[in-house]
Amino acid sequence: MTGDVILLGLAGVIASGAPIVLAAIGETLTERAGVINLSLNGLIILSAMAGFWVAIETDSILLGYLAGALVGALVSAIVAFSSITLKQSQVAVGFILTITCRDLAYLLGNPIMGRQGPIMLSTPIPLLRDIPILGPLLFQQSLMTYFSIILIFVTWFWISKTKPGLMLQGIGEKPAAAFVRGANVSMMRYLYTILGGALVGLAGPLYTLSVKPGWKGTITGLDGIGWIALAITIFGGWNPIRVAFGAYLFAFLQWLGLVLQSSWTFIPSQVLQVAPFPLMILTLLLVNLGNTEWMERLLATLPDGVRNRVKKLIRSLRSQPPAALGTPFERQ
């Protein structure tokens, strides 16, 4: 394989990772506020169908994306209403919604099955596109891919560097403490659930209009992506940078599977297709080693200065879910 081919492949990883990044970052925002939106998987499929349809009818890719985001926001509003206002189980509601949305997409999508639609082309950025290696890798992508990359950093900055972001963390951690600090817990949870859902809703059309163009009903191949995004949210410790890393890692492993399939013919192709999943679990284990007792004992044997530095490193890697995740908040 030549360098150019590898570079092209890696650029493809960035592009095919983009919808997973959008979905996982959206879910990260929602979960940081303490709400689990389990409808992700169905929501991506439904918004993929809806976005594609609107794009065909209007011949506008932009409207296609807007339709996807709108579907995402609406479905998430149902999750928000039932969990925040009606205080119902977020797991049950999300689960039913995920199945409903998926089947609804297959049902309603029949008329547009196999139709030709607009495809989003890449928009190379002048000057930057000519930088060696980085140019072809990052700056010859589609607008949505650029957006997904910018989103990672904006979300990270919002959560960890701004006051509203700090309060967002607080709402997911201990809503009662956020409440005494003046936060409107319910309203914030609505906001982040709907905003997160809208971002997830962008992931769908990004598939049907760019990454895997077209709508082919049940064989569109989007079933499962939502669950992966949910898992990556957890793997990433609810931290946008790490979440994005997880999404790209997954896309990379998938690409690797495809590449190796042609050269390592002695391995059944199914093994390579499934391999990314256990590899993701392994990564999670490695990242969370610091929580174990034997690790603490091992650390105790180190000299003070080194120990503190290692501890800080482990601490920064540690991922704890927002403590109030999935629980309703009542004022008294």
Partner 1 sequence: MKIGFNQINKHFGEVHANVDINFNIQSGMIYGILGENGAGKSTLMKILSGFIQPDSGEIVLDGRVVEIESPADAIKFGIGMLHQDPLDFPPMQVIDNFIAGQEGGLLLKHKGIIREFKALQEQFGFTLDPEAYVDTLTVGERQQLEILRLLWLGARVLILDEPTTGISVQQKEKLFAALRVLAQQEKTVVFVSHKLEDVEVLCDKVAVLRNGCLVGEVESPFDTDQLVELMFGKLIILKDPESVSGDEIVFELQNLYIEQYPITIENVNFRLHAGEVIGLAGMEGSGQDVLLRACAGLQRPVSGRVIVNGEDLTGKNYHEFIRKGVGFLPASRLEEGLVPGLTLAEHFTVTSDEKQKLFIDKTYFRSLSEQMIDEYRIIGRPDTPVESLSGGNQQRAALSLLKDSLSIILLEHPTRGLDMESSIYMWDKLRERCKRGTSIFFISADLDEVLRYSDRILVFFSGRVSKPQDSAAIDLDQLGLMIGGKGWEQEIANEETYEAISNA
Kindly list the residues in this chain that would bind partner 1 in the complex (CB under 8 A).
161-164, 166-167, 169-170, 173-174, 176-183, 293, 296-297, 300, 315, 320, 323, 332
Contact 46, 104 (CB under 8 A): yes
CB-wise, 195 or 202, nearer to partner 1? 195
The residue type at 127: L
Q: Output the smallest distance, CB 296 to partner 1, in A.
A: 5
CB-wise, 5 or 298, nearer to partner 1? 298
Q: Output the smallest distance, CB 233 to partner 1, in A.
A: 17
Torsion angles phi and psi, residue 75, rounded to 5: -60, -40
CA distance 292 to 313: 15
Contact 139, 128 (CB under 8 A): yes
CA distance 11 to 171: 37
Q: Output the smallest distance, CB 303 to partner 1, in A.
A: 15
Q: Output the smallest distance, CB 88 to partner 1, in A.
A: 17
CB-wise, 85 or 184, nearer to partner 1? 184
Contact 165, 179 (CB under 8 A): no
CB-wise, 115 or 312, nearer to partner 1? 312
Q: Output the smallest distance, CB 170 to partner 1, in A.
A: 5
Q: Which residue from 197, 174, 199 is spatially nearest to 185, judged by alpha carbons?
A: 174
Please report how many Cα atoms fall inside a 13 Å half-sphere around the Cα of residue 153, on the Cβ side.
4
CB-wise, 110 or 320, nearer to partner 1? 320
Q: Output the smallest distance, CB 139 to partner 1, in A.
A: 29
Q: Which residue from 173, 300, 221, 181 is spatially nearest to 48, judged by alpha carbons?
A: 221
CA 214 and chain centroid, separation: 21
CB-wise, 109 or 170, nearer to partner 1? 170
Contact 211, 5 (CB under 8 A): no
Q: Output the smallest distance, CB 133 to partner 1, in A.
A: 34
CA distance 240 to 233: 8
Contact 226, 44 (CB under 8 A): yes
CB-wise, 145 or 239, nearer to partner 1? 239
CB-wise, 122 or 169, nearer to partner 1? 169
Q: Output the smallest distance, CB 80 to partner 1, in A.
A: 22
Residue 155 buriedness (CB in 10 A; 0-12 / 13-18 / 19+): buried
